[in-house]
């Protein structure tokens, strides 16, 4: 499949175009810069099997950008903006490893704004040595936490993280993802009783479910 080209207008509106896209320095909106980075560097076309077992014609590998020095600050800013919709957040994090760079980016950008968000890491299983912990970082007991994820397909990873956090006494204030694939995660997470927020949808990336 020919590489998809996206153009970002100076107004910040993203439109399909056969013309060469504008350089990143011409894009002034942080969220639009993030969308362009994801479109350019983290969307792969081909035949892929998703976590759900379904087939897809594209794959979003957000770790290609979440660990990039240019993009991590943008993720932190966009997600910190998103979390302003959630009251009284004490800490952020999620299931390793997709959520780890997202939590780190939010931790630093929030601190730069004077917000006291701690971060945490949820292991897939409790450690079999030492203190045997599954949730690493400052104590989350009694804290209002937001479960983060880079991309969400089925919602399984955020829900697994939420289960481990609740065993530690945390209060799940919300689940927030960078990119929502529109494949049922929102509905499953909301059915479990958690508010769900996504910074970017497929339409923003010129993709469809």
Which pLDDT value is given to residue 153? Answer: 87
Measure CA of the first residue to CA of the last residue in the chain; give whole Å.
17
Ordered domains of the chain (ranges, CATH):
6-65 (no CATH), 69-205 (3.40.50.2020)
Label residue 97 exposed, middle or buried (CB < 10 Å: 0-12, 13-18, 19+): middle
pLDDT of residue 28: 56
Determine which of 21-25, 87-91, 154-158, 202-206 has the lowest per-residue pLDDT on average.
21-25
- Distance CA(69)–CA(84), nearest Å, equals 24
Q: Pick the range with the lowest mean pLDDT from 84-93, 124-133, 136-145.
A: 124-133
pLDDT of residue 131: 65
What is d(CA 63, CA 57) in angstroms, rounded to the nearest whole number?
19
Beta-bridge partner residues of 81: none
> pTM of the prediction?
0.84
Would you say residue 106 has pLDDT above 80?
yes
27-53 pLDDT, tens per residue?
459 999 999 999 999 999 999 887 777
Q: How far apart are CA 174 and CA 167, in angstroms?
A: 16
pLDDT score recorded for residue 132: 66
Structure tokens at 85: 């919709």
| pLDDT of residue 54 exceeding 90 | no
Question: What CA–CA distance (Å, rounded) separates 152 from 129?
Answer: 30
The answer for residues whose C-beta is within 8 angstroms of residue 53's C-beta and 6 or more apart is none
- Tell me what the mean pLDDT of segment 141-165 comes to: 96
Pairing of strands 14-16, 6-8: antiparallel
| pLDDT band at residue 19 under the 50/70/90 scheme | very low
Residue 89 has pLDDT above 50, yes or no: yes
Other C-beta atoms lying within 10 Å of the C-beta of residue 40: 16
pLDDT greater than 90 at residue 55: no
State mean pLDDT over 10-20.
33
- Indicate if the pLDDT at residue 127 is higher than 70: no
**For 182, how many CA atoms within 13 A lie in the half-sphere containing its CB?**
10
Give the number of other Cβ atoms within 10 Å of residue 192's Cβ: 15
DSSP state of 3: P
């Amino acid at each position: 499949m020919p590489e998809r080209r996206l153009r970002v207008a100076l107004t910040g509106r993203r439109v399909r175009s056969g013309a060469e896209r504008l350089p990143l320095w011409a894009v002034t909106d942080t969220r639009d810069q993030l969308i362009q980075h994801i479109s350019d560097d983290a969307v792969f076309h081909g035949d892929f099997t998703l976590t759900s077992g379904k087939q897809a014609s594209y794959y979003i590998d957000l770790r290609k950008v979440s660990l990039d020095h240019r993009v991590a600050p943008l993720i932190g800013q966009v997600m910190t903006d998103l979390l302003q919709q959630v009251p009284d957040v004490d800490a952020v994090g999620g299931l390793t490893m997709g959520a780890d760079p997202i939590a780190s980016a939010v931790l630093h950008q929030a601190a730069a704004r004077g917000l006291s968000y701690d971060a945490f890491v949820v292991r897939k299983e409790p450690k079999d040595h030492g203190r045997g912990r599954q949730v690493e970082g400052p104590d989350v007991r009694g804290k209002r936490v937001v479960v983060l994820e880079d991309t969400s397909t089925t919602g399984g990873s955020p829900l697994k993280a939420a289960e481990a956090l609740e065993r530690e006494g945390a209060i799940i204030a919300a689940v927030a993802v960078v990119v929502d694939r529109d494949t049922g995660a929102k509905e499953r997470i909301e059915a479990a009783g958690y508010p769900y927020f996504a910074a970017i949808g497929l339409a923003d990336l010129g993709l469809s479910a």
